[in-house]
């Protein structure tokens, strides 16, 4: 999981929701083995999203799900799709997430912090982890992307 400076607050909200270090008062549905919280960790210093995505892509190789956040989601998505092992999609709601997982085998969900409230993001994260790729005719098309 990574973000630029504009996505830090939403990233922290999502991390608190999916983090394996939760307690009984803040249960999570997810038992994630690894959570990489890539920089930045504050909103004070501006960072360039291509640099964050490059670091993310290095660590992401071999993982099944990743989340990137910037102000609109567009910048991190464009940067992420430069890497062969990433299929990134900007998602605005649960329906986008489900369609991108089912039909396009999205493995990186890109969110716009300026457009996504934390409660909606939690439902989107659930859909991201729970929705499976349908394969079938979609598999042939997705295979042509690499």
Is 70 assigned a catalytic role? yes
Catalytic residue among 65, 91, 103, 110: 103
Q: Which residues contact 69 (CB under 8 A, 6 or more apart)?
A: 1, 2, 3, 4, 6, 7, 10, 11, 14, 76, 110, 111, 112, 113
Q: Which of 34, 135, 133 is nearest to 89 (CA)?
A: 133
- For helices 94-104 and 118-130, what crossing angle results, to 10°? 20
**Do 28 and 18 form a contact (C-beta atoms < 8 A)?**
yes
Catalytic residue among 5, 41, 65, 70: 70
Question: What are the residue numbers of the active site?
Answer: 70, 103
């Amino acid at each position: 999981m990574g973000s630029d400076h504009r996505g830090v607050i939403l990233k922290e909200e999502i991390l608190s929701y999916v983090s394996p270090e939760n307690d009984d008062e803040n249960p999570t549905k997810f038992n994630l083995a690894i959570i990489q919280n890539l920089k930045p960790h504050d909103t004070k210093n501006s960072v360039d999203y291509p640099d964050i995505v490059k670091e993310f892509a290095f660590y992401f190789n071999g993982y099944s799900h990743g989340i990137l956040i910037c102000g609109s989601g567009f910048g991190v998505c464009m940067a992420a799709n430069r890497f062969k092992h990433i299929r990134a999609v900007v998602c605005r709601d649960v329906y986008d997430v489900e369609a991108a997982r089912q039909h396009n085998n999205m493995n990186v969900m890109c969110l716009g912090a300026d457009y996504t409230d934390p409660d909606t993001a939690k439902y989107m994260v659930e859909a991201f982890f729970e929705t499976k790729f349908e394969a079938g005719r979609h598999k042939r098309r997705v295979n042509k992307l690499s």
